[in-house]
Amino acid sequence: MLLDIFDPKAPPKPVGIDLGTTHSVLAVVRDERPLAITTCDGVPLLPSVVHYGEHGQVLVGRSAQSYLERDPERTIASVKRFMGRGWGDPQLSRLGTYRFREPKTPDEAKVVHFELGGAAGGETRTPIEVSAEILRSLVSSAREQLRSVGGAVITVPAYFDDAQRQATRDAARLAGLEVLRLLNEPTAAALAYGLESKKEGTFAVYDLGGGTFDITLLRLEEGVFQVKSTGGDSALGGDDMDRALAEQLLALMGFERAVDAPKPVIALALGMARDAKHRLTDAERVELVLPRRGGGERRHVVERAEFDQLILPLLERTGKAARRALRDAQLGPTELDGVILVGGATRVPAVRRYVAELFGRPPLSDIDPDLVVAYGAALQADQIQHDRGDTLLLDVLPLSLGVETMGGAVDRILPRNTTIPVGAKATFTTYADNQTGFELHIVQGERELARDCRSLARFTLKGIPPLPAGQARLEVSFHVDENSLLRVHARELSTGIEQSVEVKPSYGLSDEQVEQMLIDALDHGEDDFELRRLAEARVEASRLVLATEKALAADAGLLDERERTEVPEQLARLKAALEETLPQGASGAHASRLQGLSQALDAATHAWAGRRMDRAFQAALAGRDVGTVAGSVQHARGVDAHLEEHQKAQQP
């Protein structure tokens, strides 16, 4: 049913948008209740499909769906799976009807380009442009009923990374929308469910859509929605169920390798698989008529039990993420007050049975799982527009954020599952004498070494005066806003030189990279710890070698007879250990050896260092009054103590 026309003199109406893989929905709040805007087809669900005609016409929704089989190479579906992705991403190799333009430059490789019509060198579109068309269509329908559309809260999967979130914001800007906030889909669903049913407690939100899966555990209490943990897979959804069945159908049609089939045939198989999935929600079996390669046709019956077995590996992937989220939140299934289902793929009976077994209780589905996310977004948009403080959303970071330090280790500034919005600071120092710049490498992930995490951004802070190692101090601030977008600010404290960067990576994580990051962090935890210990031991040993060589060049005359032999010997041993090539698995033992040799060199130079300091004080006393010198010494001790507290060697 269409909404009544609003007062044309009323201010622009804020909206909530679920920009989905399979369908998209726009909703508003009227009389304190969320309502979905219907499309020109008279239904709230707009198929997320765009067709680009040869003569420039653009069709969106059901009218575009009819071209999926007729003209698949000019018709884009499930574009959400490509948001924030780059050339070479595993998503591009999945069974589908798309053709992608091969990049000619590194910059082109950062963004996927769909080739329309399959002709190299012809028209192309990016996922941002395709998504903008879907948003324009939603807004066009809304304007027919609301007259004036205001800002929008747009939902994204909780496991979308910075690149995918930024791509979503860019699509909205291209469509002429003001983004009030990017809201995680499970949080939006919980918001709609909590406010609609007035229930409180601890809930799991199991969100399986067309192309993404999220699992979020949160607490609803007295208007506060606090996310305890989140997990998922940004490349897993109902499309994968269609693809698994379509591959079987293509084999029955006579194609040994599904990807070898012509694009129109692949489109036909995907369409038949999708239709069979929907029909199997109510029926125990469906009969399909398949065209055979070379002519003719054959009949094939798909049993629900057969389909359930086919998608079981996909469901088990959701189970792994759900169990990890429970561990992160330190909760057991019996401690939950309910499980909320979100996403069209949760209509599949096998999914509902799996969720019931996983959590030991039947899931809640009081609100339409296709609409609940848009409802929550609309409620949040209404609260932002009217500055209502009766509800507070506390979301979390899905992965840790940090800085690469000297030696390749990671200093985590913001750990995963930190509540957002949030800010944090850390102080670093120079590693080498006369260092005039800092190179900052921002990373995301759970591994101990930067090379095993995802690189988000690099930038350099220049113009620092040449000072002895350890005297320049760099304060690095991280701030993650309510949209989960990161901003980094760096300032050298003695000079005030500063620089900021909005972390906007131009390509996203690979197919299972986010999920794999957590698995790798667990599987390689002990090895990573030893590798980090080795990296830090190398940094400290190198620093000690440089300091000792510098001291020998300046004050070798202060060595006593024993030290003239012992100090060079200990120095040579430490330098030789630094240059050794290690066999695999020897990092822990070598780290301990480096630490031992560093301690031996430090002990050998201890008395000599005292004599060097005494001579420095005597030189400073010459021609100066005792009060002035005492003040200088006290200040120097204070600076040394401060630096020692914050000393972290940063990669030059």
Q: Render 30-57 in DSSP notation, one character per residue.
A: ETTEEEEPP-TTSSS-EE-EEEE-TTS-
Picking from 262, 314, 258, 235, the residue whose alpha carbon sits closest to that of residue 95 is: 258
Picking from 269, 266, 306, 253, the residue whose alpha carbon sits closest to that of residue 284 is: 306
Give the pair of three-digit tokens for residue 2: 């269409």
Q: How far lies 145's CA from each of 7, 373, 385, 544, in Å?
A: 10, 21, 19, 72
Q: How far apart are the C-alpha atoms of 96 and 342, rounded to whole Å?
A: 25
> Do residues 226 and 394 touch, judged by C-beta distance below 8 A?
yes
- H or E, element range at 338: strand 338-342
> Do residues 420 and 411 touch, judged by C-beta distance below 8 A?
no
Greatest Cα pair distance in the chain = 107
Which is catalytic among the residues 69, 73, 162, 185?
Answer: 185
Phi, psi (degrees; rounded to nearest 5) at 147: 70, -50
185 is catalytic: yes
320 is catalytic: no
> Do residues 13 and 150 touch, judged by C-beta distance below 8 A?
yes
Which is catalytic among the residues 71, 73, 80, 540?
Answer: 80
Give residue 110's identity as a one-letter amino acid code.
Answer: K
Q: How far apart are the C-alpha atoms of 47 and 7, rounded to whole Å?
A: 29
Which is catalytic among the residues 13, 18, 89, 563?
Answer: 18
18 is catalytic: yes
Instruction: Name beta bridge partners: 403.
Output: 411, 442
228 is catalytic: no
The residue count of the chain comes to 652
Q: Render 209-273 in DSSP notation, one character per residue.
A: -SS-EEEEEEEEETTEEEEEEEEEETT-SHHHHHHHHHHHHHHHHT-SSGGGS-HHHHHHHHHHH
The position carrying tokens 């009081």 is 366
Which is catalytic among the residues 115, 129, 207, 515?
Answer: 207
Angle among Cα 476, 478, 480 to the nearest 5 degrees reads 170
The position carrying tokens 């921002």 is 442
Burial group, residue 470, by CB count within 10 angstroms (0-12, 13-18, 19+): buried
Catalytic machinery residues: 18, 80, 185, 207
